[in-house]
Amino acid sequence: MKILNKTRPLSVSLLGSSGGVARAILAILNKSFQDKNDPLYPIISKSHLHLIDINQKDKKYYDQLFPNLAGNIKLHQLDLKDTTIFKEHLKKSNTKIVIDVSWADTLEMLNCCNELGVYYLNSALENTEVDEDEKLYGFPLTERYIRFEDNKDDFTNTKAIVCSGMNPGVVQWMALKLMKENPDKKPLACYIVEHDDSFFKDKKLIIPNTLYTSWSVECFLDEAILSYPMFVDHHLQHYFYEEVYAMEFKVRLGEKEFYGCLMPHEEVVTLGKIFDMEIGFIYRVNEYTTKLIRDHLDDVDVLWDWNQQVIDPDIGEVEGEDLIGVLLVYEGMEKFIYNVMKSSEIYPKFKTNATYFQVACGIYAGLASLILDDVPLGIYYVDDLLLNTESKYGDYLTYYMTDFVTGENKASDGLLHQRLKWIE
């Protein structure tokens, strides 16, 4: 397999280019294109970007949002279920790296890349068979992970970084960073924590029977009402056979405090495979959507029939912030790190909301590592990448994600069972 030349132009194919995550990635690359201090500047400024979507937007959309990239972009409208056509595209375009933020099947996309020696990067695992199998109710994320793990070792002719968004992705870097700062102490628990209270400032924009989140509502519902609450302990996955929103768990980060729901997530599984401690993801979204779900706990399935709306600053001013971080629990004390972003500050610079920008920072770090670092062939989650290679993922990440808050709680709220509060 040929090593990428770190100074010559590349052909990069972006799958799912019409979506919100892709828009945020392109916004960062639009900056990279003219920032000579950006690690990717020498390559991106000369590279070809092939944008692929089954419902492709027109060139005007991209040119207005990303004027620096306009001359380097070529649009394609493809159905990625047709892997024969996709492989033909990879060959014809001489694609060296695929960035996959589509809903295409991860294993199918990776198989195409592996066959042709193309590098691969994504932000989440997708599996079409799992999505269509109603018998897997309660466990879709875990099943996607199991099927990916069963096939991962077959990909020997590519290098890939999978699940490199904000969470999963950046949060693994945060967790390992905190652990390295306290090498003599073994944590009792590691909680990925998120409090996203982003919402439209003008409440007149609210439409009845509509669910609002700052990223894909459908993907959120997959975790919030289609899955059971899950955590990992002693490398084993544990489940509560309850609705996710029937219970909540306390989180303190210095002066910030909130209660969030326990949801299954990729980083919980991957960190739980490596570390022998209690690991979970505790998440609270805006109060409007939280109340809607709790008002329908007796029949959450009806929510699938409601309208879905991303909290998009294109529609109206967005207030609030998205805080994502890691809380390490020790005997009698806790340490934390988090990043917090506001759409009101991100949108004027990058024309996207805070949540999508946080995801894009993780994808940018993965892309830079694939291009610039001598990472051996293989498939890597971000924790694998950081522990087993010489990747400079953290250096690339902090070029755009610059502000992290770290601190310590002088006392501890304990493990999950001690943080639990039932919703009446």
> Does position 238 have pLDDT exceeding 70, yes or no?
yes
Q: Which of 7-11, 19-23, 133-137, 406-410 has the lowest mean pLDDT?
A: 7-11
CATH of the domain at 84: 3.40.50.720
Convert the pLDDT of each residue in 189-227 to its tens digit.
999 999 999 999 999 999 999 999 999 999 999 999 999
Does residue 174 share a domain with residue 194?
Answer: yes
What is the number of alpha carbons within 13 Å of residue 354 lying toward its C-beta? 22
Q: Is position 399 within any domain? A: no
Question: Any idea what the CATH number is for the domain that residue 186 is in?
Answer: 3.30.360.30
Say if residue 275 is in the same domain as residue 214.
yes
Report the chain's terminal Cα–Cα distance, integer Å. Answer: 58
Instruction: Looking at the structure, tell me whether residues 207 and 325 fall in a common domain.
Output: yes
**Which two structure tokens, joined as six digits, stand for 232?**
């990992």
pLDDT level of residue 3 (50, 70, 90 thresholds): low
Q: % helix / strand / coil in the chain, to the nearest 5?
A: 40, 25, 35
Residue range 99-157, pLDDT digits in tens: 999 999 999 999 999 999 999 999 999 999 999 999 999 999 999 999 999 999 999 99
This prediction's pTM: 0.97
Within-domain flag for 4: no
Per residue in 259-316, pLDDT (tens digit) is 999 999 999 999 999 999 999 999 999 999 999 999 999 999 999 999 999 999 999 9
Residue 313 falls inside a structural domain: yes
Assess if residue 54 is contained within a domain: yes
Q: Are 142 and 222 members of one domain?
A: no
Confidence at residue 1, expressed as pLDDT on a 0 to 100 scale: 47
Asked if residue 301 is part of any domain, the answer here is yes
Cβ-proximal residues to 100 (8 Å cutoff; 6+ apart), any chain? 15, 16, 106, 109, 120, 121, 122, 123
Q: Are residues 61 and 205 in the same domain?
A: no
16: left (phi over 0), alpha (psi -120 to 50) or beta: left
Q: What does the block give as tokens for 397?
A: 């990440």
Residue 2 belongs to some domain of the structure = no
Q: Are 270 and 121 members of one domain?
A: no
Q: What residues pair up with 12 in beta bridges, in sequence order?
A: 49, 97
Whether 320 and 281 map to the same domain: the answer is yes
Answer yes or no: do 96 and 109 share one domain: yes
Q: Are residues 25 and 89 in the same domain?
A: yes
Residue 19 sits in the same domain as residue 94: yes
Report pLDDT for 97.
Answer: 98
Q: Which residue has the tokens 């089954």?
A: 54
- Judged by average pLDDT, the poorest of 1-10, 18-27, 52-61, 229-238 is 1-10
* Judgement on whether residues 39 and 67 belong to the same structural domain of the protein: yes
pLDDT for the residue numbered 364: 98
The three-state secondary structure class of 93 is helix
H/E stretch holding 65 reads helix 59-65
Instruction: Looking at the structure, tell me whether residues 253 and 229 fall in a common domain.
Output: yes
> Per the domain annotation, does 5 fall within a domain?
no
Predicted confidence (pLDDT) per residue in 314-341, tens digit:
999 999 999 999 999 999 999 999 999 9
User: Residue 369: which domain range?
Assistant: 11-166+356-394
Map tokens 């994502």 to a residue.
Answer: 324
Residue 1 lies in a domain: no
Total tally of structural domains belonging to the chain: 2
